[in-house]
Structure 1
């Protein structure tokens, strides 16, 4: 196979139903091992998902591998940032401390995607205020097989209910510190990386659905062109203003999906159409934050050009 784009056009469109997160994760691993780049794995594994929720799982896990290539292939991972005050750096109160060369975590994360079944957590915590008074963040890895980590399952969300979320409390939990600043090195770039890889996985799933419904070639060509754009974005630094601006253009295409993909839903199983209508909100999450990032990227470009 020359590329993941060829894979999306030639892989079998019939896939067995998935019945759990673990089953979806096992299928993801079998497909992902064929691709060296996380965004390609997101596209291919999304194609193999039987619904948008499990495509999200693939995109989310691929995004974490793009952020942290050293993660073991078989580990289901969750990034934990959100707290009672939100996900803004100033709102993070979970404490990360070093004692005698070891790192420990204390605090509660209120909304961790896949936090319940995760084997390992990427936790964003505070190491205290800097000289400028700002909250200084650190990213650490925490294994979940320790009694110091307590996870509480949260109610299902209205869309992609197959993907569980949990509140996670740490009480002197042992951790391994990651190098660099927790905000600029991990939390900030992950927001962009996650967008790219989750959109790629959703697109892979849509291409399979389009092929299953034998839609006209122009629609598949449009979806594949968007996949090619996401592949390039997945290879660019998340700090690039150009990448953010191009991603804004891709997101605008996704806003048109309810209309442009209508021929797909006329031809597929009604259960697939119903799930699509229920889960479409996933693609519109954090629209305000995305808008702010796009405006900041344009400001950076104008400042550089000026």
Structure 2
């Protein structure tokens, strides 16, 4: 196996060679609050990556991956971000469901679902949150029961990222009548193109709709499409959340650095850097980013602590961007003719308001750190 630096050089060279021609215009496209940008073209780009062996690089070779080490995966995500390559469309399948199936799925499930994920032929979304069961995931009420060799599913999921583009959803549902909290849940793989499934996009503050409500009204999936044993869905769901905070977050930090550098350049150009308060906040943002990277590289860092740190840092960066821009930040000028047309800084500010909520709210992360890391008494729950 090549060294990390050799692997980094290979990644850099491939991106330099292939992120050209028809794909050159995709640089910087997509990402949080901008998932609507050039989605079909980004899908084609990712299938191009798959054809050259650059998807699922951390998966074991027997499942179509390259068996890349943690160091190599970090190098890949960093180089991908440095190349300003477009935001990935297959993150949920590749980074969340794929590792879950590799560790917890049956051989039949691996053979059926892993190859289309690696080839970017089937896209996935995550069916966890519900009205009244977002941060408190154990309160899910979506239910499923076996009938004639199929799971029949009824319920509602919300904040389901990219459900309108996905073909499949992994769904946490209550499969044991009368069960409460973590017991009696199952982790089901559900097709979204069958009867009994309705997807309604949710319009966000940014004016875009990458989140959705998903309604299941007698939706069906095969009895074999349960990961782990029926009733053991909580453990499988928690494993998936662990993969969600993996090495790809190092690439995310490269994106944060690019945002901060661009903001510092803007502050220099428009004179905002002369304001000692704004100058101090920019300096604090820079030292905060360095601390974030150091925290992420420590193997013992609890995922909840890392999530708390980067979410608040990025939200604060969005607020700082508005202050650097001054009064102009309050106007959606409609530069492209639309009545509500945001620039990159306005979109950053609005979408980063959600950073402290999605993937586990700050309040939930603090409770996890208090109980599981610091060993404090558990919160009293009804």
> After superposition, where does 1:122-201 map in structure 2 within 5 Å?
122-129=170-177, 135-148=183-196, 150-159=197-206, 161-175=208-222, 176-180=225-229, 181-186=232-237, 188-195=238-245, 199-200=249-250
SS of 1:108's equivalent in the other structure is strand
Of 368, 371, 378, the match for 1:293: 368
Of 34, 41, 47, the match for 1:23: 41
Conservation of the 8 A alpha-carbon contact between 1:124 and 1:182: yes
SS of 2:343's equivalent in the other structure is helix
Structure 1 residues 176-218: Cα deviation after superposition (integer angstroms, max 9, x where no partner): 11114211221x34445435577555434334446778969x9
SS of 2:353's equivalent in the other structure is helix
State how far apart, in whole Å, the 2-side matches of 1:206 and 1:6 are. Answer: 24
SS of 2:367's equivalent in the other structure is helix
Q: Does 1:63 align with 2:96?
A: yes
TM-score in terms of structure 2 length: 0.57
Q: CA deviation at 1:290?
A: 1.9
**Map of 1:103 onto structure 2:** 150
Q: CA deviation at 1:65?
A: 3.5
Q: CA deviation at 1:131?
A: 7.9
Larger Rg: 2
Conservation of the 8 A alpha-carbon contact between 2:315 and 2:352: no
- Quick one: structure 1 residues 113 and 133, their matched pair in 2 at CA, closer, same or farther if it must change by over 3 Å? closer
- Quick one: structure 1 residues 230 and 30, their matched pair in 2 at CA, closer, same or farther if it must change by over 3 Å? farther
**Map of 1:34 onto structure 2:** 54
Conservation of the 8 A alpha-carbon contact between 2:131 and 2:157: yes
- Quick one: structure 1 residues 168 and 46, their matched pair in 2 at CA, closer, same or farther if it must change by over 3 Å? farther
State how far apart, in whole Å, the 2-side matches of 1:119 and 1:232 are. Answer: 37
State how far apart, in whole Å, the 2-side matches of 1:166 and 1:132 are. Answer: 24
**Map of 1:206 onto structure 2:** 256
State how far apart, in whole Å, the 2-side matches of 1:30 and 1:244 are. Answer: 34
SS of 1:146's equivalent in the other structure is coil
Q: How many residues align?
A: 286
SS of 2:154's equivalent in the other structure is strand
TM-score in terms of structure 1 length: 0.68
Which structure would you say has the larger RCO, counting Cα contacts within 8 Å and 6 or more residues apart? 1
- Quick one: structure 1 residues 16 and 192, their matched pair in 2 at CA, closer, same or farther if it must change by over 3 Å? closer
- Quick one: structure 1 residues 224 and 103, their matched pair in 2 at CA, closer, same or farther if it must change by over 3 Å? farther
- Give the structure with the larger strand fraction: 1
SS of 1:63's equivalent in the other structure is helix
Q: Does 1:279 align with 2:297?
A: no
State how far apart, in whole Å, the 1-side matches of 2:91 and 2:290 are. Answer: 17
Conservation of the 8 A alpha-carbon contact between 1:122 and 1:139: yes
State how far apart, in whole Å, the 1-side matches of 2:91 and 2:296 are. Answer: 12
- Quick one: structure 1 residues 255 and 172, their matched pair in 2 at CA, closer, same or farther if it must change by over 3 Å? closer
State how far apart, in whole Å, the 2-side matches of 1:228 and 1:16 are. Answer: 26
SS of 1:289's equivalent in the other structure is helix
Unaligned runs of 5+ residues in structure 2 are: 31-36, 60-72, 103-109, 269-282, 327-334, 336-341
State how far apart, in whole Å, the 2-side matches of 1:156 and 1:194 are. Answer: 24
Q: CA deviation at 1:21?
A: 3.4
> After superposition, where does 1:222-261 map in structure 2 within 5 Å?
223=289, 226=292, 230=296, 242-251=302-311, 253-254=313-314, 257-258=317-318
Q: CA deviation at 1:106?
A: 1.8
Q: CA deviation at 1:76?
A: 1.2
State how far apart, in whole Å, the 1-side matches of 2:324 and 2:127 are. Answer: 36
SS of 1:154's equivalent in the other structure is strand
> CA-atom RMSD, angstroms?
4.7
